[in-house]
């Protein structure tokens, strides 16, 4: 098991041990003792799972105020490009974007602290995406940034003509128009 720092402050990649043989594989995807030994004492309270088809882009979403969420994200099936934007105004990496492919072969997980916008695009025919949250979803506290914000210049790995973006996400503000969020 390994935790690797990313170029974004406090954002970590986690690679669990995977034991493969002719039957398939076994992995311990989360163990509180393992994470605590790394100084990650997040108490997760909600698990979410989404099935999406090729071309779907979900995000960039976040929760504000007392409803902010840290997340542990991974892919059960398929391939996604996972993307985060640092929204913490006091962070040295404020406004920076990080993207990584998560898939069933590399088994990578992304440890996303509070104060980040998060989204992903589906690169395979379909993908099952799973994430743990340390706070409950609150509709009144949701926020987002337009996934095609030209200032962020995110390469989602999906041709524009093939992108499937919800109407809700298409009307999100650009990065410069959103209200800064302060982690609590």
User: Which residues are known to be catalytic?
Assistant: 61, 131
120 close to 87: Cβ distance less than 8 angstroms: no
89 DSSP β-pair partners: none
* 111/72 Cα distance (integer angstroms): 5
First to last CA, the chain: 29
- Spatial contact of 170 and 59, defined as CB atoms under 8 Å apart: no
Do strands 71-77 and 109-112 pair parallel, antiparallel, or not at all (unpaired)? Answer: antiparallel
Beta bridge partners of 121: 57, 81
Q: Are 122 and 55 in contact (CB under 8 A)?
A: yes
């Amino acid at each position: 098991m390994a935790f690797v720092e990313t170029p974004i402050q406090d954002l970590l990649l986690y690679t669990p041990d995977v034991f493969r043989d002719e039957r398939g594989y076994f992995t311990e995807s989360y163990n509180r003792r393992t994470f605590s030994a790394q100084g990650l004492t997040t108490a997760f309270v909600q698990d979410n799972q989404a099935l999406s088809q090729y071309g779907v882009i979900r995000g960039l979403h976040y929760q504000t105020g007392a409803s902010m969420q840290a997340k542990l994200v991974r892919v059960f099936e398929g391939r996604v490009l996972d993307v985060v934007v640092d929204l913490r105004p006091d962070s040295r990496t404020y406004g920076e974007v990080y993207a990584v492919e998560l898939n069933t072969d590399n088994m990578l997980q992304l440890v996303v602290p509070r104060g980040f916008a998060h989204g992903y695009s589906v690169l395979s025919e379909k993908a099952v995406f799973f994430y743990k949250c340390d706070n409950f979803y609150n509709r009144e506290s949701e926020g987002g940034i337009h996934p095609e914000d030209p200032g962020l210049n995110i390469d989602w790995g999906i041709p524009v003509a093939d992108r499937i973006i919800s109407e809700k996400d298409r009307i999100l503000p650009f990065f410069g128009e959103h209200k800064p969020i302060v982690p609590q």
